[in-house]
Every structure is written in structure tokens, then in C-alpha cells.
Amino acid sequence: MNSPDKKARELRHKEQDLRRREQEIRLRELEAEIDRSVPEHLTSKYEEPDSQVNRKLKQWRRKIIAVTQFTGIVIAVVVAVCIASWLAAALIVGGIALIAYKIFFQDNRS
């Protein structure tokens, strides 16, 4: 009776040992993958001593570009509204003229 218990214990021990080794191998692989994906040194662009002046100029430049874009959009919208109102007025006048023509100038055939 001791023999099957010893064999079962030995088998369980070998299985646990094998699982532990597999986990260690997986952990090593994951660590290696993480090490490959993360760069060792982070680089930064060299900034000249007068970079604050350049930074302020860039900020002003961005602001001017934004204001110019906004102004352009406002002007385009105003022009579109004016054109739409002229077209609407022309359609209204044309519709009234067509109705007046049909009422007053078209021959009555009845």
C-alpha cells in the first residue's frame, strides 16, 4: 500500500515542479518582452537659450492663426447668409410674379 502512495506523491511533486518551471519560463519571456518594448533612454530636443522668446513667438503665431481662421469662417457664413437671403427674395418675387401672371394675363379657356 505504500508503493502506490509514494508513486502518487512523487507524480504530484513532479507535476508541481513542472508547473513551477513553466511559470518561471513564462515570466522570463514576459520580462524580456517588456524590456524590448520600453526604450532605455528617453531623448529630448535640444533647446537653445533663447527658447522662451521662440516659445512666445510660437504662441502668438498660433493665436494669430486661430483668430484668422475664426474671422474667415465668420465672413464665409455672413456671405452665405446674404446669398441665401438674395436667393430667397428672388424666389419669392418670382413666385408672386408667376401667380400674378396666371391670375391676370393667362387666357381663360373656359
- For residues 104 and 47, which has the higher predicted lDDT (pLDDT)? 104
- Across residues 43-60, what is the average pLDDT? 76
Q: Which residues contact 54 (CB under 8 A, 6 or more apart)?
A: 48
Look at residue 5 in the predicted model and tell me its pLDDT. Answer: 85
Domain boundaries, the chain: 7-38
**pTM for the predicted model, two decimal places:** 0.45
Digit-coded pLDDT (tens) for 8-46: 889 999 999 999 999 999 999 988 888 777 666 777 777
How is 65-110 classified by DSSP, letter by letter? HHHHHHHHHHHHHHHHHHHHHHHHHHHHHHHHHHHHIIIIISPP--
